[in-house]
Amino acid sequence: MKIITGNANKPLAEDIASFLDTEMTQCAVKRFNDKEIFVEIFENVRGEDVFAIQPTSYPANDNLLELLIMIDALKRASARRITTVIPYFGYARQDRKSGSRTPISAKLVANLITTAGANRIMTIDLHAGQIQGFFDIPADNLSCRPVFLKDIREKHNIDNVVIVSPDVGGVVRARSIAKKLEVPLAIIDKRRDNPGESEVMNIIGDVAGKTCIIIDDIVDSGGTLCSAAYALKEKGATEVKAYISHGVLPADSYKKIDESCLEELVISDSIEPKQEILQSKKIRILSIAPLIARAIKRTNSEESVSSLFL
């Protein structure tokens, strides 16, 4: 087995290699003067089971192209099997036609990865589960759920917790957490009555006097999340926290989080956090390296990874 990574999230890849008790495969990802990407692998990978770890986070296009070129280099070096481990699958929010003459970019990216020569995909909490069907190769969609469940049980009084879905589309994800914890579920119904007007949020469920934990897959600028926290507080929630799989979070977004009524935002390290995010008073990061390492080990030994979805 070989572990290789590009520039997108080296700390996560190194942590995964450490859990697997193996060394990172040495390679170089360089840029020519015109920013053209060049990948060179310094170790023999012929006949090896190779796991290429690379989230397609910011800058999404550069990191995606690094991954594609890395796959091509591994294929031409006669790797036996190439599994692309994409902790954060960029372009996943473009999983359908949102209007006339718009692309389905998630399908395009899936085609690119498959055509480049990947034999298998491993990712975490896809924005929409059906994206697995965009790939013509096996695709494992792992979940941060086990990591979040463990942390919620350790940090909170479960008897006073309500799990909250920030919108109707995220109900399945939030319900699975609520079911495991055996706690109630609430849903935020948000809409704009007129273009340009702020969102009107209605809370479906009883949150008064409760600790509300919002569950979602992606937090971007954090604006909607902060508005949701305010709406829950208005309905009597004693405190509001959020567990989000992928923290896209632009560098200055921590200010919005720190100044909001949200008590805490917990994210995974699927995307390498910027220094400003690490300095935030309210943002905490959980490692998913052990989860991915277990999935890689089972894939390498041809064992089932289905228990990691539970």
Instruction: Supply the pLDDT for residue 223.
Output: 86
Q: Are strands 81-86 and 27-31 parallel, antiparallel or unpaired?
A: unpaired
Instruction: Supply the pLDDT for residue 194.
Output: 60
Instruction: Supply the pLDDT for residue 98.
Output: 85
> Burial letters for 33-52: b for 16+ Cβ neighbours within 10 Å, e otherwise?
eeeebebebeeebeebbbbb
Q: Which two tokens stand for residue 210?
A: 């409760």
Instruction: Supply the pLDDT for residue 306.
Output: 82
Q: What is the mean pLDDT of the chain?
A: 93
Instruction: Supply the pLDDT for residue 193.
Output: 60
- What does pTM read for this prediction? 0.93
Indicate the SS3 state at residue 106.
helix
- Which residues of the chain fall short of a pLDDT of 70? 192-198, 200, 309-310
Instruction: Supply the pLDDT for residue 104.
Output: 96
**What is the H or E stretch that residue 293 is in?**
helix 289-300
Q: Which two tokens stand for residue 218?
A: 């992606």
- How far CA 249 is from CA of 58, 62, 228, 263, in Å, comes to 10, 18, 17, 17
Query: Cα separation of 297 and 305, whole Å?
Result: 9
Query: Cα separation of 34 and 24, whole Å?
Result: 28
Instruction: Supply the pLDDT for residue 162.
Output: 97
Task: Name, in order, each residue with C-beta under 8 angstroms of 57's C-beta and a sequence gap of 6 or more.
Answer: 8, 9, 63, 88, 90, 246, 248, 270, 271, 272
> Do 89 and 131 touch, CB atoms closer than 8 A?
yes
Q: Which residue has the tokens 């959980």?
A: 286
> Do 207 and 184 touch, CB atoms closer than 8 A?
no
Task: Name, in order, each residue with C-beta under 8 angstroms of 153's C-beta and a sequence gap of 6 or more.
Answer: 181
Q: Which two tokens stand for residue 101?
A: 């003459």
Instruction: Supply the pLDDT for residue 253.
Output: 83
Query: Cα separation of 294 and 308, whole Å?
Result: 8
Active site residue: 180, 190, 282, 297, which one?
A: 190
> Burial letters for 203-225: b for 16+ Cβ neighbours within 10 Å, e otherwise?
bebebeebbbbbbbbbbeebebb
**Is 30 annotated as catalytic?**
no
Instruction: Supply the pLDDT for residue 307.
Output: 75
